[in-house]
Amino acid sequence: MSTSSTTPPAGLPAAYDTLGPYRLAGLLGEGGMGVVYLGLDRAGRAVAIKALRPHIAGDPDARARLAREVATLERVQHPRVAAVLDADPEGERPYIVTRYAPGPPLDDYVTTHGPFRGEALLRLARGLHDALGAIHAAGVVHRDLKPGNVLVVDDDPVVIDFGIAHVADDVRLTSTGLVMGTPGYLSPEVLSGAPVTEATDWWGWASTLAYAATGAPPFGRGRVDVILDRVRSGQHDLTGVDARMRPLLAAALTPDPAQRPSAGTVLAALEQLAHGEAPHLATGPSGRTEVLPAVTQSIAPPTESLAARTELARQQRPRQGSTRVMPAIPSGGGASAAGASPYARIRPYASSVPPAAAATPPGAGGPAYGVESRRDEQPVGPVGDPRVGKPARTAQLIGLTGAVAALAATWPMIAVGVALGWSVLARTVDRSVTATVLRRHEAGGARGTDLAVAVARSPFQLLAATVSTIATGLLGLLVTVAVMFAVSLGSSLLGVRQAPTGAVPIAVGALVGCWTCWWGAGGISLRRGSRMLMRGLTPGQLTREVVTALLVALVLGLGLWALLRHGVPVWWPLQQDPVTGRSLGWQF
């Protein structure tokens, strides 16, 4: 268990700067918005003080975020979480005081001591598991669990920095459209605009464990947009993870939350590894991986097994069909247990001095408390991104796809033009918005020249979108043609003669071709841009209903047109069928 230091480091000057009733004894870390000091209360006890920078202190949003952090921390009481002691978010220089955890951040610890193995990795995983259990039991989602926000104190983790935590009954953090977090440790569903859930933290937990086990970010380093694309597509690098554990950890980092194993499953596998037993993987009834007991495992007495199963189920209820552990293996403590706090609870915003804690000398920590932006841990915010937290307009986009397929069955060349035009426009919008978001991220916020720069760059974005559309469109076209001939051949085998260029083969081929472009290589830009365009076309419920009705009517009308032409499409502006060479013209 970690303890809080009560003795200041040696060699400090006799006089200190002060902040409220606290003396500032040293610098723990700093970032663009705030500074974290090692502080001393009136009794000489060490605390951590997170203060906004003077030029940020006047920003109401920054103050509100600090106040939210106080309210969030007050909900959580657990020895693996740095508890709030005092705060003044309304003062001339707002600050928050938390328990001082005398240890380095996890990333610095790994750099100095090397990756975690065996029992050490299990201890880290279990400590973070218990901390997240307590956080979630309080109705809070941390959202930014990463190595820089985990301090290692006496070989145990302490979770810090709740600056962007999400509270279950607080809608403000999901309605602002802010991308906030750290690339490589922010879950794929949050990047896609899905609601914030506990699965977000468990994904960050697995990503943090991967870092601890390898000493490298699982999604690499480099440009922010490249890292985010790797996260969305699940392109991680787990080289260095124990080969027996790698498949399970890879499953925990999959982009689809429903396909991930429970945290209890991962803990149980780590428990087996720590005891020298290799987790046995097998395919369960659902077709997904399960961890089976080692053949040497002894059978626990019935009462012990029932208690273990009850405790494990209470900590992490596995999803239907997800990866799970067959034996009942306790995870080493209740995830939601509050635990004893080293300090008495203090109301926020009070100016009273925090009570004493057990005395231990502070350890060498270096920059900590989640405020130093590392090269591979650049925070994605606070930067406005209009794609996050907004409706996907799935129904309308499905209707649009159906309309394109129906148009292809009647006017194929016009349908090709419409599909290519939409793709170019959607990709241009996505590239422009992405460039603006990244520019604001690098600048630390919005600038007055953002619009002018976006307009100046628009021709280049249009050119890049056109090239991308042509490259991905060729694959979609090849798939469409292949499906057309496959449908024609299949219908002939069934005794129903259909030319490859008939309405039905073209419609089916167009649907499959659109699906290929949507989900295939380079499709993420098309998906994001299409959703933005559709949200712009359907801003309200009435417009959504009208557009949906028009798309349905268009599909029905084009279907009727195809029937009237006996399934023979119009190839204008071509003068003949590109396959048969027959001249069809405009006639019925």
Residue stretches of the annotated binding site for ATP = 50
1, 31, 224, 312, 444 from 378: Cα distances, Å: 30, 11, 8, 36, 11
Backbone angles phi, psi at 531, to 5 degrees: -65, -40
Number of H helices, E strands in the chain: 17, 14
Cα–Cα dist 247/328, whole Å: 20
Cα–Cα dist 292/289, whole Å: 10
DSSP 8-class letter at 46 = E
Cα–Cα dist 539/262, whole Å: 38
* Under 8 Å between Cβ of 1 and 11: no
* Under 8 Å between Cβ of 161 and 124: no
Q: 482-498 in b/e burial notation, b at 16+ Cβ within 10 A?
A: ebbeebbeebeeeeeeb
Cα–Cα dist 52/499, whole Å: 71
The label of the residue with tokens 């989602």 reads 141
Cα–Cα dist 5/3, whole Å: 7
Catalytic residue among 41, 108, 144, 201: 144
With a CB cutoff of 8 Å and minimum separation 6, the contacts of 273 are 118, 121, 122, 242, 244, 245, 279
DSSP 8-class letter at 293 = P
Q: Which of 373, 391, 390 minimizes the C-alpha distance to 382?
A: 373
61, 281, 328, 380 from 300: Cα distances, Å: 55, 21, 9, 48
Annotation says 450 is catalytic: no
CB count in 10 Å sphere of residue 501 = 23
Q: Where are any strands of DSSP class E within 396-538?
A: none
Q: What does the radius of gyration of the chain's CA atoms come to, in whole angstroms? A: 29
- Return the H-helix or E-strand segment holding 29: strand 22-30
Q: Residue 518, SS3?
A: helix
Half-sphere exposure of 80 (CA within 13 A, CB side): 23
* Under 8 Å between Cβ of 38 and 2: no
Catalytic residue numbers read 144
